[in-house]
């Protein structure tokens, strides 16, 4: 049985767009994970640790037959493969992949909290999430992504990025 999950992607080091594209390709290449849709890409100001470059952020929807902790382990392996180092909390990173939702599951453990504990507080998550599913309802808050966005006080620092998943060349050819 497959479960629909939403994953948050972020990068603010090196070729940020390439890192997002690579992460999606690596996720899609894993047995039991299929990427089915992607949000637009947004450029965002850093949150938490501010002395760093701007991020590119997106949300992808995947179908998976993997259990939540298996999915987490695979994501951590992909991050490591892509050069992620955890030196500063909320610091610069080549890639960050967060499990935002796993179906409608709620889970609270030291390793994994579902839905993501700060999903409802972050414009850089809610805005791209709305690109994919405004009606998804947070199981603990009983509110849709659209309702959570409407209640969000700090919506600044997030801009649709000029380049999306395809290159400028591909866009002009289609």
Please identify which of the residues 84, 122, 131, 133 carries the catalytic annotation.
84
Q: What is the DSSP string of 62-116?
A: EEE-S-HHHHHHHHHHHHHHTT----STT---S-EEEEEEETT--EE-SS-EES-
Q: Is 93 a catalytic residue?
A: yes
Distances (CA, A) of 126 to 7, 13, 53, 162: 12, 22, 21, 19
Please identify which of the residues 93, 122, 131, 133 carries the catalytic annotation.
93
Please identify which of the residues 16, 38, 96, 133 carries the catalytic annotation.
96
Q: Tokens in use for 12?
A: 């603010």
Q: Is 15 a catalytic residue?
A: no
Q: Is 131 a catalytic residue?
A: no
Query: Which residues are the active-site residues?
Result: 84, 93, 96, 98
């Amino acid at each position: 049985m497959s479960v629909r999950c939403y994953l948050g992607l972020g990068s603010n080091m090196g070729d940020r767009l390439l890192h997002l594209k690579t992460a999606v390709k690596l996720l899609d290449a894993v047995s039991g994970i299929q990427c089915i849709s992607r949000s637009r890409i947004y450029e965002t100001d850093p949150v938490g640790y501010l002395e760093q470059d701007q991020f590119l952020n997106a949300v992808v929807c995947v179908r998976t037959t993997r259990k939540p902790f298996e999915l987490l382990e695979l994501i951590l392996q992909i991050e490591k493969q892509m050069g992620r180092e955890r030196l500063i909390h909320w610091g610069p990173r080549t890639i960050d992949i967060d499990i935002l939702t796993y179906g409608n599951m709620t889970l609270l453990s030291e390793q994994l909290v579902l839905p993501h504990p700060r999903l409802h507080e972050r414009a850089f998550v809610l805005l791209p999430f709305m690109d994919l599913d405004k009606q998804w309802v947070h199981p603990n808050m009983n509110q849709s992504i659209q309702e959570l966005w409407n209640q969000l006080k700090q919506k600044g620092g997030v801009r649709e990025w000029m380049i999306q998943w395809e290159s400028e060349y591909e866009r002009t050819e289609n």
